[in-house]
Amino acid sequence: MAEHIAALVTAPELVRLIGTPDLLLVDCRHELTKPLWGAEVYAEAHLPGAVFASLDRDLSAPIRPGTGRHPLPTAAEFARTLGRWGYTPHTRVVAYDQGPGPYAARLWWMLRALGHRAVQVLDGGLAAWVRNGGALNTATPAIAPTEVAPREFVGAVSSAEVERELAAGRITLVDARGADRFAGQNETVDPVAGHVPGALNHPFSGNLAAGQQFLSPAELATRWASEIQRAQAKPLVAMCGSGVTACHNLLALELAGYGEGRLYAGSFSEWITDPRRPVATGVE
């Protein structure tokens, strides 16, 4: 699909799109502390025609020794998932979650990393849809599976690359976790607290306005001005705890005019699997 499509779609815009050909809605709702919650609330009610994407099973591979908590699936695994959803190169994909957008942004980045441009995140998620009078239902859509050719993710950065590029001073590494976890405080998810030495902290929550919707492009450009300036000389790589909320920052950066940044998919949870890798605490 050659037509340029914005990274975000509003609820009123999506209301008008429902029922159009080649539209694929993907429900990406998830809670890190309740892995089954997304599937449960999808069964209770979802956007008409939406399929469900499990962060753990569809948007991630199983955890293995040396990986983070949400490693990217292989090209073949993700191709099978897309085929199960009836995806084709002509599909317009709209991903949504409960509101803030990090899980929907993970699917957005994955498809963009395959070269698929016609993918959007519903700004404000299901909450915005309901506020704007959008309908919900419980029906499981009947989908004709498709054959999808496996393609590798472009822009995914490994731990070895992060180590090498940081040591050479060639990248701007930005961590999307909250300031407390970045500083090594109140860590409840990973067994080691702190951050990758040399990383900058830009919590993904700073991309959002009231109603859990994204700030305007102008406001995002102001919020990200320092990192964008650094990235002119040292290209930006986004990270977080496990490569999910980092995608929210990459979406915000595109809205702000930076373009496409790269993703350290393993992120901090993979970084700390090797005790040789240093960890910093506090605010640098």
Whether residues 212 and 163 share a domain: the answer is yes
Instruction: Give the helix/strand (H/E) hosting 41.
Output: helix 37-44
- Please tell me the pTM assigned to this model: 0.97
Q: Domain of residue 261: give its range.
A: 156-271
Whether residues 200 and 93 share a domain: the answer is no
Whether residues 127 and 220 share a domain: the answer is no
- Amino acid at site 61: A
Strand partners of residue 214:
208
- By annotation, the residues acting in catalysis are 240
Longest dimension (CA), the chain: 53
- DSSP 8-state class, residue 277: S
Domain count of the fold of the chain: 2
pLDDT per residue over 7-49, tens digit each? 999 999 999 999 899 999 999 999 999 999 999 999 999 999 9
Strands (E), 63-191: 92-96, 119-122, 156-157, 172-175
CA distance 39 to 274: 33
- Give a yes or no: residue 140 inside a domain: no
CA distance 58 to 82: 9
Flag whether pLDDT at 163 surpasses 50: yes
Residues of the chain with pLDDT > 90, as a percent, come to: 95
- Assign residue 67 the CATH number of its domain: 3.40.250.10
CA distance 137 to 133: 13
CA distance 19 to 48: 9
Flag whether pLDDT at 2 surpasses 70: no
Packing angle, helices 102-113 and 245-256, rounded to 10:
70
- Give a yes or no: residue 183 inside a domain: yes
pLDDT per residue over 236-256, tens digit each? 999 999 999 999 999 999 999
- Give a yes or no: residue 195 inside a domain: yes
- Give a yes or no: residue 280 inside a domain: no
Instruction: Give the per-residue pLDDT at 13.
Output: 97
Flag whether pLDDT at 1 surpasses 90: no
Is residue 284 very low, low, confident or very high in pLDDT (cuts 50, 70, 90)? low
pLDDT per residue over 178-226, tens digit each? 999 999 999 999 999 999 999 999 999 999 998 799 999 999 999 999 9
Instruction: Give the per-residue pLDDT at 159.
Output: 98
